[in-house]
Amino acid sequence: MASEKDVPGLLNLTNTSMHCLSPQTLVASILPPILILEMIVGLPCNLLALWIFCFRLKAWRPNTFFLFNLLLADLFLLVGVPFRIDNLLRGEHWVFRGAWCRINLFMLAVNRSASIAFMTTVGVTRYFKVVHPHHRINRMGLTQGGWLAGLIWTVVVALRVPLLATNLLHWKENNLLCRSFDGFEEPPPGIKLHFAIFLGEFFLPLLMLLFCSARIACILRRRRLDRERKVRRAIRTVAVIVAVFVVCFTPSNVTGLAVLYIKRFRPQDCESFRLVGQLFSLSIGFTYLNSTLDPVIYCFSSSYFRNAVKSLISSLGVLELRSSGRSRHRSSASDG
């Protein structure tokens, strides 16, 4: 087993700068199977979605482009999660050095931020199409959509860059712990910003999506547009986005707030801090679930994507019928 001296740039835990730090054995035993299952389901779904976006879609609109960027955000997760699985299977012992620890956590944080940003963007654009159909946002072209997507990526990456500049590798009980949320007595500026973004990027977009849902519902009742296909599709899109948003991101924020509460008001209660900290880490499994559920959003949000999926399924069905027909023909010929 490596010692603390063998790891360059390791945060020294012999001082009192860390609070109630310990390996999370419960997380290491429960979370890996969940993450592996999410990868088994999510990886082929996202690769299929990538293939459809790149080779099957004949027409692109800003909404489609935002969904494609949501898929790109999921790729950060698909690259980063296998290293977290390896880390947990080793009993939460990081073996890939400090630089990759920072890069790995940066990629996972970018996935969360970008996913939330592009889901919110799709929901808001749907809101404008129903509630403000003559607004100039509805006349946004693909070029303007590209500029908006570029701005979103710039903000997301810029806000997460402090993770790359903060030492996130800690030594405790013969384990190298690679964590971005930890028991710092006095978190460095980069970690404070990370905390603030983690909470803010959840509550503000959630309020926006709930507002969009409520306004669309009011418009439906007031104008009696519930029978119009475009309006029904819009409300279903926003409803699916809100559902995925709540399922994937609520648990981590609720448990994260509980961790901050215990640290602020009961700093000596290390037992509760560690328990709630493990619940927070387990809730990250819901966060990573977003990459598995995002293809559902693509189908509900884009008629082009949905038609491409139907066309693909139909073509596969035709191939199967042709194959079975040929096999029956050969069987009858051999029988004759």
Q: Convert the pLDDT of each residue in 23-48 to its tens digit.
A: 788 888 899 999 999 999 999 999 99
Q: What architecture (CATH level 2) is domain 17-323? A: Up-down Bundle (1.20)
Going by C-alpha positions, the residue among 169, 26, 184 that lies closest to residue 91 is: 26
pLDDT digits (tens, 9 = 90+) for 284-327: 889 999 989 998 899 888 888 888 888 878 877 655 555 555 54
Distant-in-sequence contacts of 330-335, Cβ < 8 A, 24+ apart: none
Confidence of residue 207 (pLDDT cuts 50, 70, 90): very high
Domain residue spans of the chain: 17-323
Q: What is the pTM of this model?
A: 0.84
Which pLDDT score, from 0 to 100, does residue 330 have?
Answer: 46
Rounded Cα distance between 247 and 245, Å, is 6
